[in-house]
Structure 1
Amino acid sequence: FEQVYHGCSAGLYDEVFNTVYWEKINGREECFITHKLSAWETNLSLIRAFYPKGDLSQLPLVSKKSDQSWLLNAAGLTILSMGRLKEAEEPSLTAIKIAIEVKDWENASRGYQNLTTIQSRAGEIDTGLLSAQKALEVAEKAKSYEHIINSKAYLSWVFHLLGNTEEAEKGFKQADELSKKIWGHRLNSLRGVWYADFLISIKRTDEALEITQRNLEICERNNWPADILGCHRAISAIERTRGNHKEAYDHLHNAFEFAKKVGMPFLEIEVLLESGRLHLDTENYQDAIYDANQVLKLCDRTGFLLYEPDAELILAKAYLAQNDPEQAKSYANSAYKKATSMHYHLPKVESAQILEKWR
């Protein structure tokens, strides 16, 4: 790490980026420092070394435009992963602009993928859809199988959030088939977790479990802690929907353990939401309320507004089960309004069902 700081201080930005940061620290596309170590703050400190006085609002000081775009994308993704959502969008937008200028379609697709998750997790799902569509468009220009698969998964995830089951299923299937053709296995890492989440939502838990078990094997073999977390959370949801509460709690415990190591707020939020749903199903209503309130605090601190309707829906169900109709109605109404404004399908439908009790 000292080589990065000293080399950049001496103005050797290109040499340090290529031979030290990219080759030695990141292990090229392996992204060792983030994907394996989850050392997000350290990575941001290293990235800042390539910027004038560490100012991320300016352009990196490497000479190649493609390297500038890559560093900007890395900055956006790192800031997002640290839970600073509002700061993450600008570097991603700049990365896309530079990549398009030099027809670097792979980095442009990577930037649009980052933008998709930033916008969607901020509750701007319609805007996220446009970014996902652009990610796929430029991935096809690049003729990059990796980015085509990734972009189809991102697009399908957003369609799932919007409740467009037909398009989500079609896109996930295409990405899954292409993954098998190119890499010899089904969708894995975050892509596989999203596919499992979608399959769980349409009650295809057998297929969701098959995908997730294989995904977990790959993630454990490669030591990808964030994706291992996602797999355990998905399996917990599968076992919960099957009524296997002990198995669900076991996988949830594993997910929480990885959440501590990974330090990514939106993944912690997703684990807390699954914990809240499991506590609802096991009639541990006070624990469900605690989980949901923790989510709302994290959403308020980070700007991950997508998850607020999910948390308020858990609160509505918990208070309804405890014969507190006033609070139940209040939270259901808030969840409905927020989900409707975002076009977030599942919590909109479920909160509307609760509100039917008062109509």
Structure 2
Amino acid sequence: FYSQGTREERNVSADSFFDEALRWFGYSGPPIPSPWDKGIRLAELLRQQKTLLILDGAEPLQYPPGQLQGELKDQGLKALLKELARANLGLCVVTTRVALEDIRHTEGKTSRRVDLENLSTAAGSRLLRSLQVKGTDKELAEASQEFGGHALALNLLGRYLAVVHEGEVRQRDLIPRLTEEEKQGGHARRVMESYERWLAGQPECDILHLMGLFDRPAAKGAIDALLAKPAIKGLTSNLQNLPLAQLQFAFQHLRDLRLLAEKDAQRPDTLDCHPLVREHFGEKLRQQNPAAWQEAHGRLYEYYKNLPAKELPDTLEEMEPLFAAVAHGCQAGRHQEALDDVYWERILRRNEAFVNHKLGAFGADLSALSSFFEVLWSQPASGLTDDDKAVVLGWTGFALRALGRLAEASQPMQAGLELQAKQKDWENAASAAGNLSELYLTLGEVSQAVASARQSVDFADRSEDWGSKMMFRTTMADALHQAGELTQAQQLFREAEAMQKKRQPEYPYLYSLRGFLFCDLLLSQGQYQEVQKRARQTLEWAIQNNLSLLTRALDKLSLGRAFLLLALSEVEGQALAETTARALGAPGQYFDQAREYLLQAVAGLREAGQQDDLPRGLLARAAFHRVQNEFALASTDLEEAREIAERGGMKLLLADYHLEACRLESKKQTAKSKEQKANSKMQAEEHLDIAARMIEEMGYGRRKPEVEELEKQLNSLNH
């Protein structure tokens, strides 16, 4: 992974790794759309035999210093490591400069963390001595300390002194000092500065500048494209007419100097070097000869876009050259052309979104999209039209959400919204604000969700589209419902329903997701029979019109919840009384129907592949199992809901999990020994404390009455 670059502004993808690893370990099924599922499937394959898996240089896939420091950005890699930490016949070794936060809780149990420091003074001295550097032990020790024990820097230093200064260690004083920080390779860059001066005007220097054009190993065909006539002024002039033997000598000379990697036995014609070497010489070329930089990238753009045998590649492996073409085209300043001709036409296949929907390569897609930004995720390249800037921001927000990077997704979504509002593109601005509101709700930022939802209604009302006016009223209604503003929420749902009925008189009820959200509000108000009537009707419409699996699953979820709450209200004599369930030993028809609909709802949500909505079904089914004293089944559903919510940063659903876990532990007290009762009570109180704190911090007003009710229940158990 480290080979893809070291800088934070780069977006690195693990999709190619998963694509190759799954095939290597025997997976032959269709593409797996979900990154998380890719990680789970690979872990299953690895566990079939004793396997040594080495993941080298994972830090580009981790968050930099900040709130999320050390956590993996890539959901697939996160799933893989969590699964292997849970159970593994073999050994997985991960090297990284940043501690892995995702499996920190397993350290000392199923994982071990080994901190590798830079080389000691003594080890650095021995390394320099092995590279034919001459001097006293004290002088070599001083040199080792001066370069921070940095292995790459000492390797480069040793070869430089041996070749240029006959190994004399005291000549290191001629190497310039840089202000660049050590974590950015400052020590190694000091030596590279000296190499650049020493090799100036020679073929080796031009070769290093060529390597700076790539973000991974350079294939022979790409090098040939750069060396083709006419020469690129100031870059390939010295290499153009160089005999092959002399060119090969220059390659070997750079290998001897440790500036090029040794030949790869599997790909002997490929050139590679350390990412810091690539980035140093690439940056020098870009600054000192921008015309050559752009012309060279332009050649690579043409080479890679014409490389695939198919105009429309069918696999991720076949599509790799197109991703490279996008990167080089953008570096050549040809952003619009790369977007129109390669990304839109051949990677996305226009509205088909092939790379995502068919290949599930959201990481590779996001990596391609990063090329269209001047400031990552907030400022698209100036070479794009204003309309396409907004589109790129929208695509980026979608990709980040799909990868579970929800906190990051808000930035491009907000930037896209502002751009569309500036252009007075009210319909798309309304959609962007509505999507942003949904994202903020997922993240538990309820007040921001309400504010964005208000924007969506305002923008929709400025448009001429009745569908937008209707749809985003339901978005605002749902945000207000979560905030605890039930009266305003119901008023907006009714307004939206009236708009729909006026345009579609054959559908008097809100349906699909909008209908589900309204039913969610009605259930919280105790209108169980009303929800039954509505959900039965909307489910019938969904079947008749062959609507999505998600729509049908949500209707069944509404019905399952309605039957469960209706059964409880009849047994207990009041809508929300669930404290005693002794009378529920012989479930009636309502419980039977609740069980059936909830089973179908969870199965449908799984089939629809909607990770955002699956926890809703799992939490509702866990509540049913709890009521039926099926504690093991309830715990299983709760744990799955918690796992999904945690990895997706779905804070509202995490609060819901803690509330339901509190109810479950409270219920268990009626069927345990004195010691077990005390333990369950303690766990119930812990879950309630966490839920109460989260609900208060998020402004999750609809759940506050539930917290108060549970506090009363737990207090009653003390007496």
Cα drift, residue 215 of structure 1: 2.9
Match of 2:476 among 136, 148, 155: 155
Cα drift, residue 135 of structure 1: 0.7
Query: RCO (CA 8 Å, sep 6+): is it higher in 1 or 2?
Result: 1
Alignment of 1:302-317 (within 5 A): 302-317=648-663
Alignment of 1:134-173 (within 5 A): 134-173=455-494
Cα drift, residue 40 of structure 1: 8.8
CA distance in 1, matches of 2:357, 2:599: 19
Alignment match, 1:52? 371
Alignment match, 1:105? 426
Which amino acid in structure 2 is aligned with residue 349 of structure 1? P
Contact 2:373 2:380 in 1 (8 A): no
Residues 1:336 and 2:660 aligned together: no
CA distance in 1, matches of 2:463, 2:347: 25
Residues 1:94 and 2:418 aligned together: no
Q: Deviations over 1:86-128 (max 9, x none)?
A: 2321221121021012111111111111110111111111110
CA distance in 1, matches of 2:602, 2:632: 19
Task: Flag the 1:126–1:278 CA change in 2: closer, same or farther, 3 A.
Answer: same
Alignment match, 1:120? 441
Contact 1:84 1:302 in 2 (8 A): yes
| Residue aligned with 1:266, SS | coil
Alignment of 1:28-47 (within 5 A): 41=360
RMSD, aligned CA: 3.2
Contact 2:347 2:354 in 1 (8 A): no
Residues 1:177 and 2:498 aligned together: yes
Match of 2:513 among 184, 190, 201: 190
Q: Deviations over 1:52-84 (max 9, x none)?
A: 279972638995433442443344245435533
Alignment match, 1:13? 339
Residue range with higher mean Cα deviation, 177-186 or 288-297? 288-297
Contact 2:380 2:392 in 1 (8 A): no
Task: Flag the 1:249–1:163 CA change in 2: closer, same or farther, 3 A.
Answer: same
CA distance in 2, matches of 1:132, 1:303: 20
Which amino acid in structure 1 is aligned with residue 561 of structure 2? A
Residues 1:288 and 2:672 aligned together: no
| Residue aligned with 1:322, SS | helix
Residue range with higher mean Cα deviation, 102-111 or 37-46? 37-46
Task: Flag the 1:66–1:254 CA change in 2: closer, same or farther, 3 A.
Answer: farther
CA distance in 1, matches of 2:457, 2:363: 27
Number of residue pairs aligned between Structure 1 and Structure 2 = 352
Task: Flag the 1:160–1:39 CA change in 2: closer, same or farther, 3 A.
Answer: farther
Cα drift, residue 274 of structure 1: 0.9
CA distance in 1, matches of 2:367, 2:499: 36
Alignment match, 1:237? 561
Alignment of 1:253-264 (within 5 A): 253-264=599-610
CA distance in 2, matches of 1:64, 1:329: 56
Alignment match, 1:225? 549
Q: Deviations over 1:129-149 (max 9, x none)?
A: 000001101111113211111
Report the TM-score, using the length of structure 2 for normalisation.
Answer: 0.45
Q: Which runs of 5+ in 1 are unaligned?
A: 27-31
Q: Deviations over 1:202-227 (max 9, x none)?
A: 12223323332333344442442222
CA distance in 1, matches of 2:619, 2:428: 33
Task: Flag the 1:219–1:239 CA change in 2: closer, same or farther, 3 A.
Answer: same
Residue range with higher mean Cα deviation, 328-337 or 270-279? 328-337
Task: Flag the 1:348–1:328 CA change in 2: closer, same or farther, 3 A.
Answer: same
Which amino acid in structure 2 is aligned with residue 355 of structure 1? E
Task: Flag the 1:50–1:88 CA change in 2: closer, same or farther, 3 A.
Answer: closer
Task: Flag the 1:347–1:297 CA change in 2: closer, same or farther, 3 A.
Answer: same
Contact 2:615 2:641 in 1 (8 A): yes
Which amino acid in structure 2 is aligned with residue 90 of structure 1? Q
Q: Which runs of 5+ in 2 are unaligned?
A: 1-309, 314-318, 330-336, 568-589, 670-679
Cα drift, residue 22 of structure 1: 9.0
Which amino acid in structure 1 is aligned with residue 622 of structure 2? G
Cα drift, residue 253 of structure 1: 2.1
Cα drift, residue 255 of structure 1: 2.1
Cα drift, residue 38 of structure 1: 6.5
Contact 2:461 2:469 in 1 (8 A): yes
Match of 1:350 among 699, 703, 706: 706
Contact 1:120 1:306 in 2 (8 A): yes
CA distance in 2, matches of 1:215, 1:60: 45
| Residue aligned with 2:612, SS | helix
Alignment match, 2:647? 301
Alignment match, 1:214? 537
Residue range with higher mean Cα deviation, 122-131 or 244-253? 244-253
| Residue aligned with 2:500, SS | helix
Residue range with higher mean Cα deviation, 37-46 or 106-115? 37-46
Contact 1:339 1:345 in 2 (8 A): yes
Higher-helix-fraction structure = 1
Alignment match, 2:246? none
Which amino acid in structure 1 is aligned with residue 518 of structure 2? Y
Which amino acid in structure 1 is aligned with residue 614 of structure 2? E
Task: Flag the 1:249–1:90 CA change in 2: closer, same or farther, 3 A.
Answer: same
Which amino acid in structure 2 is aligned with residue 59 of structure 1? P
Contact 1:41 1:82 in 2 (8 A): no
Alignment match, 2:404? 83
Cα drift, residue 290 of structure 1: 2.8
Which amino acid in structure 1 is aligned with residue 521 of structure 2? F
CA distance in 1, matches of 2:348, 2:464: 23
Which amino acid in structure 2 is aligned with residue 133 of structure 1? R
CA distance in 2, matches of 1:204, 1:33: 43
Contact 1:52 1:61 in 2 (8 A): no
Which amino acid in structure 2 is aligned with residue 108 of structure 1? A
Alignment of 1:194-205 (within 5 A): 194-205=517-528
CA distance in 1, matches of 2:412, 2:652: 21
Contact 1:280 1:314 in 2 (8 A): no
Which amino acid in structure 2 is aligned with residue 202 of structure 1? Q
CA distance in 1, matches of 2:554, 2:399: 18
Cα drift, residue 309 of structure 1: 1.8
Contact 1:122 1:305 in 2 (8 A): yes
Cα drift, residue 201 of structure 1: 1.2
| Residue aligned with 1:160, SS | helix
Cα drift, residue 15 of structure 1: 6.5
Cα drift, residue 33 of structure 1: 7.5
Rg larger in structure? 2
Report sequence identity in percent. 19
CA distance in 1, matches of 2:471, 2:531: 19
Which amino acid in structure 2 is aligned with residue 289 of structure 1? S
CA distance in 1, matches of 2:311, 2:373: 15
Alignment match, 1:267? 613
Which amino acid in structure 1 is aligned with residue 596 of structure 2? D
Task: Flag the 1:286–1:345 CA change in 2: closer, same or farther, 3 A.
Answer: farther
Contact 1:76 1:114 in 2 (8 A): no
Residue range with higher mean Cα deviation, 142-151 or 213-222? 213-222
